[in-house]
Chain A
Amino acid sequence: MGLEQNEVSLEQIAILHNRFKQLSQNEETLRRDDLKTIQDLESNPIRYQIIEAFFDRRNFQKDGVGSVEEIGFEEFLTVMSYFRAPAHHITEEQREEIRRAKLRFLFNMHDTDNDGTITLEEYRHVVEELLSRSGALGRETAKGIADAAMLEVASISVGPMAPDEFYEGITFEHFLKILKGIEIETRMHIRFLNMDTAVFCKQHSV
């Protein structure tokens, strides 16, 4: 419902279908290992989270939870459609919906245990992964950075807290609030999905 504006055009579907076939080696379903073989992903610090996102039922818009072992083209396309840019002439309401949907995608990537909040541990994990290429220095500072970030969220969302009170974790609403400054709906998009003309599909030696 929320992603109606994010539907992809026919040509783009054809191109993505080709790519799907390529990755899954002409099978009907895609597995994690197929995605892991993409060479360019090797240097990406958050590749595991990205791959997980494809297999996360929460992103399939069918109100499911948990993860699956393999996905079909429909799910692949659904996940891809999160990265479509909003159309130009949409109402403020629709824009808000799109923003929520995209932020929900990001939230799901962080909230690995699906309890509805991003706890400090999960957030630390995120920052550590981001800095995972920096060795030991990264790991130590990651803790500090994650802590500082959590503090900031708590301060912004909840305000003054007595020492006995306890901040469980970042809920989705808080997440929306702190990322208000980033215009997610325009930043989180792939240009490829925007072009109406057919774009070549790179052949990867797998």
Chain B
Amino acid sequence: MIQELTSRLKLNFPAQIIPRYSCFRRGSMFILVLGLLVGSLMPLGGASGSPGSGTGQDECKKNNGDEKNGNKTTKKSFPVLSLNYENVRLPFEISLWVLLASLMKLGFHLMPRLSSIVPESCLLIVVGLLVGGLIKLVGKAPPVLESNIFFFYLLPPIILDAGYFLPIRQFTENLGTILMFAVVGTLWNAFFVGGLLYGVCQLEGTNLAGVNLLSCLLFGSVISAVDPVAVLAVFEEIHINELLHILVFGESLLNDAVTVVLYHLFEEFTNAGTITVTDGFLGIVCFLVVSLGGIVVGAIYGILAAFTSRFTSHTRVIEPLFIFVYSYMAYLSAEVFHLSGIMALIACGAVMRPYVEANISHKSHTTIKYFLKMWSSVSDTLIFIFLGVSTVAGPHEWNWIFVVATLVFCLVARVLGVIGLTFVINKFRIVKLTSKDQFIIAYGGLRGAIAFSLVYLLNPKHFPMRNMFLTAIITVIFFTVFVQGMTIRPLVDLLAVKKKQETKRSINEEIHTQFLDHLLTGIEDICGHYGHHHWKDKLNRFNKKYVKKCLIAGERSKEPQLIAFYHKMEMKQAIELVESGGGSKLPSAMPSTVSMQNIQPKKPPQDRALPQLSKAREEEIRKILRTNLQRTRQRLRSYNRHTLIADPFEDGLDEILIKRKKMKELEKKMNNYLTVPAPPADSPSVARARLASDPQAWGLKSVTEIPTIKVELVSPQNPESVKVVDEFSKKGSQPKGSEEEGGLTMRVPSSEKQRKDKTPDEEPQPRFMRCLSDPGPAAEDEDEDEPFLP
């Protein structure tokens, strides 16, 4: 039978694949995957369903046979090989499903032509249908998407992923619009669809008289909610502009509260039998409680997580665990009280993120990011596959009129709702929503597995037409995911909707965004109007003054956003620089065709008062600047404003040679920590260029006792900082060794006092450098201590 199936499959699929040579290989790979799938299905098909599975029994029989043979020869032979499938059945099956899902995902991406036409979600549903069909063929009952599994295991990772990486700025800027769509839009949809369906049910000719108003309203409320899973799955691939993305996606997240309330409301009413005005009023109160309660629960857990992360500097390894567990607890706690779990999860992720990211290490950050993406990806895949399988499995009751009516009403309700709401919303928005935007918003209202699971939860006793509902919902889901999901991409191209801009945020934009924020707040204050800039500013100040002190460890709490952004950017560039081969190719983000000398005007130097700055910090900052800003040349003299024309080659040469010698010594010590070799001895200009661009070179000297030459010397970027170094050395301590004059930066700064100060602070520096390079095995644990944002 296996051969029959595989051959059948083989026959079907190659027809789709154009027999061109390049596609042939991909096609064969897909067939291989499919073969693997079928092969893995056989035990699965046999295993799922009733316990005491067939294959298990077969193999047991075989084993018994062996044993019997053994019995004939000896009285009691020790079972060398025994089989006990029942023990591992559950985890085995789960793993098989997960494996199946992942292999499918793998398979799709091996065929780029297919994945560019059909969104992944569609393909996965098709696979689910196939698998369900196969299982049915084998004769077992295919598993259905249990609501418990869905709500407790499959949904949270997706929502947490969305909440943790939610773009807060855009979200809050458009919050009013999103709330309008989520609350008013969903209510409108629910009542429109529910009401009209009831009307249809009352019509003669349909034998649907048994469906009462409440059931219809319940059905309407369930089916009207836009599904975040489906929206994410489809919108991720089409890359539309951020505004539309956040509008549809935000709506899909926030309408959960509405859905939960309506669902429970109508369920209760169906049990109760009668409704009064009080009940309606209580419903509204319930909505507020559910949504705000969910947010509060999420925020509490978020703050707890942020607070916990403050103390994890010694146990970096379990940092991600805290994030995940606290978020999951937030979700579960909200579910305990029938509050909106999704909103709790979103609130938790969004609240804890700024504080947690300031506290955790770089590696933990990466871990969290990748775990979240991995789990949400697996969940997403499993949900769609199960949706397909459940379609094959589920008890269906097909009623043409009901299903078609549902579909039509859903679409109409969505379109009307969006148009109506946009008309009202545009009166309050600065950036108005155009009709193109409205079309995408309406078209992007996809339904998904949440609706299905909610209907599945219905008690058949109270809702005898549950099967019909299930069928109708599945049809709507299929329609939206397949038809709308597949056609949205060409439509987006056709309508020339603005796509997501891939430009990186520049430091100038960041500076001016902050500047604008302060400017607008100031103007509002002058106007005497307490607008939303004023309140945002107040919130920021409160955050900075009290909250950050509690939740962020150590010095980071005082770091303003601009500096944090700058460090992050520099860190990214530093990593890019190292990865790109240590300076041979400079990252394109910071086109360093211009160097500081081009910018410094030839003005007389100004005296600056020395700020009190911890030396380590200063070193760190300088290191960051020096390694990234440009291909530095040793044009020191032009910065010394006294001499307009100078040839730095001669002056700098001695220092370079000394430096290189020192570096070689250090390099021997630090050999296992670096991947970038010390520059060989070549001509001065090449040597300079290489030294300048080699980020590794700078870091070495600070580690040792050897009076090292400070690197700022060779970097012409910061003449003032050069001066500062001079003054520092002059100021506190007697420099060992030669003292040089003339504004020259070549200073040997070490002294007892300085070194003592430096030793505790020096720790971050080598670690920082190691962080950039590929650390040797011994350096692993020290690396972790580096916080994510240095």
Residues of A whose CB lies within 8 Å of any CB of B are 16, 19, 22-23, 35, 38, 40-41, 43-47, 50, 54, 80, 83, 85, 88, 106, 109, 119-121, 126-127, 130-131, 133-141, 143-145, 147-156, 158-161, 163, 165-168, 178-179, 181-183, 186-192, 194, 199, 201-202, 204
The reply to whether A141 and B430 contact each other, CB–CB distance below 8 Å, is no
The reply to whether A145 and B599 contact each other, CB–CB distance below 8 Å, is no
List which B619-633 residues lie within 8 A (CB) of chain A. 621-622, 624-625, 629-630, 633
Number of chain B residues whose Cβ lies closer than 8 Å to a Cβ of chain A: 73
| In the bound complex, CA of A38 to CA of B570 (Å) | 38
The reply to whether B526 and A151 contact each other, CB–CB distance below 8 Å, is no
The reply to whether A182 and B509 contact each other, CB–CB distance below 8 Å, is yes
- The 7 A-B pairs with the shortest beta carbon distances in the complex, nearest first, are A160-B593, A136-B611, A40-B525, A192-B529, A50-B522, A154-B594, A155-B591
Closest Cβ of chain B to A154, distance in Å, is 4
The reply to whether B563 and A154 contact each other, CB–CB distance below 8 Å, is no
The reply to whether A143 and B721 contact each other, CB–CB distance below 8 Å, is yes
Closest Cβ of chain B to A65, distance in Å, is 22
Residue of A nearest to B501 (CB): A181
B515: CB under 8 A from chain A? yes
Question: Assuming A44-B522, A181-B505, what are 9 further A-B pairs, CB within 8 angstroms?
Answer: A35-B526, A47-B522, A109-B519, A133-B560, A144-B622, A148-B570, A152-B506, A178-B509, A192-B527
| In the bound complex, CA of A41 to CA of B629 (Å) | 35
Query: B515: which A residues are within 8 A, CB to CB?
Result: 46, 106, 126, 130
Query: A141: which B residues are within 8 A, CB to CB?
Result: 563, 566, 621
The reply to whether A134 and B563 contact each other, CB–CB distance below 8 Å, is yes
Of the listed residues B507, B537, B611, B630, the one surrounded by the most CB atoms of chain A closer than 10 A to its CB is: B507
The reply to whether B592 and A151 contact each other, CB–CB distance below 8 Å, is yes
The reply to whether A202 and B529 contact each other, CB–CB distance below 8 Å, is yes
List which B3-49 residues lie within 8 A (CB) of chain A. none
Query: B534: which A residues are within 8 A, CB to CB?
Result: 40
The reply to whether B525 and A41 contact each other, CB–CB distance below 8 Å, is yes
| In the bound complex, CA of A189 to CA of B429 (Å) | 12
The reply to whether B532 and A147 contact each other, CB–CB distance below 8 Å, is no
| In the bound complex, CA of A88 to CA of B613 (Å) | 50
The reply to whether B560 and A131 contact each other, CB–CB distance below 8 Å, is yes
Closest Cβ of chain B to A179, distance in Å, is 6
List, sorted by A's number, 22 A–B pairs whose CB atoms are closer than 8 Å: A19-B527, A43-B537, A44-B521, A109-B519, A126-B511, A126-B515, A127-B562, A130-B511, A131-B563, A137-B613, A141-B563, A148-B507, A148-B629, A151-B592, A151-B599, A152-B506, A153-B508, A154-B594, A178-B509, A182-B516, A187-B516, A191-B531
Residues of B whose CB lies within 8 Å of any CB of A are 426, 430-432, 501, 503, 505-509, 511-516, 518-534, 537, 541, 558-560, 562-563, 566, 570, 590-601, 603, 611-613, 617-618, 621-622, 624-625, 629-630, 633, 635, 717-718, 720-721
Closest Cβ of chain A to B616, distance in Å, is 12
| In the bound complex, CA of A134 to CA of B635 (Å) | 32
Query: A202: which B residues are within 8 A, CB to CB?
Result: 528-530
| In the bound complex, CA of A41 to CA of B518 (Å) | 10
Main secondary structure of the interface of A (DSSP, over half): helix
| In the bound complex, CA of A131 to CA of B599 (Å) | 22
Q: Which of A46, A153, A188 contacts B518 (CB 8 A)?
A: A46
Closest Cβ of chain A to B381, distance in Å, is 36
The reply to whether B518 and A160 contact each other, CB–CB distance below 8 Å, is no
Closest Cβ of chain B to A9, distance in Å, is 15
Closest Cβ of chain A to B673, distance in Å, is 26
Query: A133: which B residues are within 8 A, CB to CB?
Result: 560
Closest Cβ of chain A to B728, distance in Å, is 12
The reply to whether B599 and A167 contact each other, CB–CB distance below 8 Å, is yes
The reply to whether A83 and B520 contact each other, CB–CB distance below 8 Å, is yes
Query: A41: which B residues are within 8 A, CB to CB?
Result: 522, 525-526
| In the bound complex, CA of A83 to CA of B430 (Å) | 12
Q: Which of A38, A85, A191 contacts B526 (CB 8 A)?
A: A38
The reply to whether A145 and B601 contact each other, CB–CB distance below 8 Å, is no
The reply to whether B560 and A161 contact each other, CB–CB distance below 8 Å, is no
The reply to whether B529 and A181 contact each other, CB–CB distance below 8 Å, is no
A151-B590, A158-B594, A167-B599 known; A131+B562 contact, CB < 8 A: yes
Closest Cβ of chain B to A103, distance in Å, is 10
